[in-house]
Structure 1
Amino acid sequence: MHFTVIQIVLLTILAFIKHIDYYGIPMLFVNYPVFWGLFTGLLMGDMKTGLLVGGTVQLMSLGVAGFGGSSVPDYGTTAIIATAFGTVLGKDAGLAIGLPVGMLGVQLDVIVKILNGFVAKKAQQYANERKFKKMNAVTWLGPVFFGLSAAIPVFVSVTLGQSAVNFVLNSMPSWFMSGLTIAGKMLPAVGIAMLLNYMPTGKLVNYLLIGFFLAAFLKVPIIGAAIIGFALAFATYKQTEQADKFKVAAASGNANKNGIGEDE
């Protein structure tokens, strides 16, 4: 099948906007696939298919999130490509074409995050040299890189089809794919370490050890660990609340005693 030039351009721009929006400029849709399926359906003149495909991809993405800098499949881009092809070939065929692109998004996300490390370093250098215009200009490369990491796969897919995506995946050398996989596994650890740096870890280290024990030794799923964490946090909150009430009552009693003594 062939897309028109206008459709190719609009789908590529939509993917670019989608990924920039996901990373905070202006973050209107938070990368919900159902929205991008709907928008793609409107561009293709088939809103019903857009909602069906977007909703299906939304179900696939439930419970999947890139916490702490981790990279996950790009379900938003999957929804765009699956809807574009699904309007002509059918929903199932569209999903079959879109899913490999979503998996490719994991590797592209790692590459972009590595590149943005150099962008941040260069921006810091300009800031130290008080070259603030250059600092501001180079900082904008970050969103551009993220946008291109979604726009390029969509452009390739709608112009060359599924075979092009599979060719790219199969052509990457094993050492390169292994390196990206290792980098992708390291990013969550770095992100968690950054979060712990800003949390009162010293005071709450016992809860940190409990969570680690549940996940590492008992293999408790993240939902189960979260429920236990909420229970412990709620218990800590209630204990703190009771302690604060006791302190207020004690302070009030001391004040009354002091007041009676002064009156006498």
Structure 2
Amino acid sequence: MSLFQAILIGIFAYLGSKRTPWFFGVTGGWNMIGRPLVAGLIIGLILGDVRSGVIAGAMVQALFIGQITPGGAMPADVNWAAYIGIPLALAAGGTGEQAVALAVPLSMLGLGLFNFIMTINAYFPHMGDKAAERGDGAGIHRATYLAAVPSFILRAGSAMLICYLGTPLTEVLLNNMPDLMLHFFEVAGKLLPAIGFAMLLKQSLSRSWMIVLFLMGWVLIGSTSMSVTALAIFATALAFIFVMAQGQPAVQAAAQPAKGIEEDDCYEE
């Protein structure tokens, strides 16, 4: 990996990190560029291997597909998992399975970096408060923009340095690793995404019987030639029918007391 490629990856890692406002806020940054699937495409374009980048991104995305980040609580740093795990694996000649295996420990290390950045940034709101007490509007703006500096230095800098300096080490490890260990990473890379889907199902299935809908989709994909797109359209139509059927009794129940009140009023008159 060249230094220029590492710099580009570092910049996108910063733009896709949490609390970065520059790319349409959280929507365009953390929730779009920061997703491993999109990161895989970006990394593939930078490294010149879009197909491998998208495949690795999809596998890492499956691992974290059920993760949510309410407020400042973040169970794992998807940014480091995507923008360091994927490029290290691809630049060293690895596959999506190796990217997933690297993503797990990197997401834990990245969480420590995120908490460190948030600790540093706690200083700047106080700077803005003091400027507000003085009526210094420029000072408030200054505190807001200065808060982005530690995040850029630590987030972009760490991704750039690890990708640039860590690629040779990762390549040596993959080339000299025993076949048994490589097979373990391959199996783990295929098993870990199942954990992500399990987390997603746990959040999505509000009632236990809804597992039948999941099994029905799995059977349709496995036993027919239906594509994922066709299944998604079919599932959307089924969900729409289900919601309409569930809402119909509620509408009738809400209308019934109103009708009764109207009849009582007429009787009293």
**TM category, shorter:** 0.5 to 0.7
Determine the structure 1 residue equivalent to 2:52: 49
Q: Please tell me the root mean square deviation across aligned C-alpha atoms, in Å.
A: 3.9
Using the TM superposition, give the Cα deviation of residue 87 of structure 1 relative to its aligned residue in structure 2, in angstroms.
2.6
Amino acid at match of 1:37: G
Amino acid at match of 2:8: L
Using the TM superposition, give the Cα deviation of residue 96 of structure 1 relative to its aligned residue in structure 2, in angstroms.
4.6
SS of the equivalent of 1:56 reads: helix
Amino acid at match of 1:55: A
**Cα–Cα, structure 1 residues 254 and 127, in superposed 2: closer, same or farther, change >3 Å?**
farther
**Cα–Cα, structure 1 residues 60 and 252, in superposed 2: closer, same or farther, change >3 Å?**
same
**1:213-255 deviations in whole A, cap 9, x for unaligned?**
xxxxxxxx99379726xxxxx9xx9999778646644665577
Alignment coverage as a number of residue pairs:
197
Determine the structure 2 residue equivalent to 1:192: none
Residues 211-226 of structure 1 aligned to structure 2 (within 5 Å): 223=202
Using the TM superposition, give the Cα deviation of residue 97 of structure 1 relative to its aligned residue in structure 2, in angstroms.
4.5
Q: State the distance in 1 between where 2:253 and 2:147 align.
A: 47
Determine the structure 2 residue equivalent to 1:65: 68
**Cα–Cα, structure 1 residues 69 and 242, in superposed 2: closer, same or farther, change >3 Å?**
farther
1:36 paired with 2:39, answer yes
Using the TM superposition, give the Cα deviation of residue 94 of structure 1 relative to its aligned residue in structure 2, in angstroms.
4.4
Moved more, 48-57 or 59-68: 59-68
One of 3, 11, 25 as aligned partner of 1:13? 11
Using the TM superposition, give the Cα deviation of residue 147 of structure 1 relative to its aligned residue in structure 2, in angstroms.
3.9
Q: State the distance in 2 between where 1:18 and 1:83 align.
A: 14
Determine the structure 1 residue equivalent to 2:157: 152
Give the alignment's TM-score, normalised by structure 1.
Answer: 0.59
Determine the structure 2 residue equivalent to 1:107: 112
Q: State the distance in 1 between where 2:126 and 2:254 align.
A: 46
**1:26-61 deviations in whole A, cap 9, x for unaligned?**
122612111001101100000011111111110110
Do the aligned partners of 1:41 and 1:83 also contact (CA within 8 Å) in 2?
Answer: no
One of 134, 138, 141 as aligned partner of 1:136? 141
Amino acid at match of 1:152: G
**Cα–Cα, structure 1 residues 249 and 139, in superposed 2: closer, same or farther, change >3 Å?**
farther
Determine the structure 1 residue equivalent to 2:173: none
1:87 paired with 2:85, answer no
Determine the structure 1 residue equivalent to 2:122: 117
**Cα–Cα, structure 1 residues 256 and 148, in superposed 2: closer, same or farther, change >3 Å?**
farther
Q: State the distance in 2 between where 1:88 and 1:100 align.
A: 18
Using the TM superposition, give the Cα deviation of residue 11 of structure 1 relative to its aligned residue in structure 2, in angstroms.
1.4
Amino acid at match of 1:28: G
SS of the equivalent of 1:58 reads: helix
Amino acid at match of 1:101: L
Amino acid at match of 1:10: L
Moved more, 139-148 or 28-37: 139-148
**1:80-104 deviations in whole A, cap 9, x for unaligned?**
2233223332124444545433221
Amino acid at match of 1:161: G
Amino acid at match of 1:72: P
**Cα–Cα, structure 1 residues 239 and 117, in superposed 2: closer, same or farther, change >3 Å?**
farther
Structure 2: give runs of 5+ residues left out of the alignment.
171-199, 208-242
Give the alignment's TM-score, normalised by structure 2.
Answer: 0.58
Amino acid at match of 1:12: G
Determine the structure 2 residue equivalent to 1:184: none
Q: State the distance in 2 between where 1:74 and 1:16 align.
A: 13
Determine the structure 2 residue equivalent to 1:213: none
